Amino acid sequence: TYVVTDACVNCKFTDCVEVCPVDCFYEGENTLVIHPDECIDCGVCEPECPADAIRPDSDPGSNQWVELNRRYAGIWPVITERKDPLPDAEAWKDRTGKLSLLSE
Ligand code: SF4
Ligand code: F3S
């Protein structure tokens, strides 16, 4: 599976949802997640994200992201169409360590 990391927080560019063939992105207030059991591992979303927030679960340390994506994908609504990024997306794009800012 692929997962969304905290690099998406406060950005939500949503280019990713446009290309996903199985519509497995879910939307929170300030980030998206991927449903790890619905993702078919095609990889097409990864290069689309301007914040480089999408990673394969083969990345070292990805366990926490898989768990987080699974948890919120079960709660948040599906998103299937692109929308405007959050207002300060460009400013937040290259910031790291944004997990504590994630809005449930
Ligand atoms: Fe969707 Fe493919 Fe990305 Fe998985 S890897 S979230 S199936 S676009
Ligand atoms: Fe987030 Fe990147 Fe998609 S910022 S909404 S994972 S395009």
Ligand 1 within 6 A of 78 CB? no
Pocket test for ligand 1, best of 17, 22, 49, 65 (most atoms within 8 A of CB): 22
CATH numbers and ranges of domains, the chain: 2-82 (3.30.70.20)
Per DSSP bridges, beta strands 2-4 and 54-56 are: antiparallel
Distance 61 CA to ligand 2 centre (A): 19
**For 52-77, what is the mean pLDDT?**
97
78: DSSP letter: B
ipTM given for this complex:
0.98
Does pTM top 0.95 for this prediction? yes
Evaluate: CB of 3 within 6 angstroms of ligand 1. Answer: no
pLDDT tens-digit series, residues 23-41: 999 999 999 999 999 999 9
From CA 80, how far away is CA 87, in angstroms rounded?
20
Tell me the CA–centroid distance for residue 5 and ligand 2, in Å.
9
Which ligand 2 atom is the nearest neighbour of the CA of 17? 3
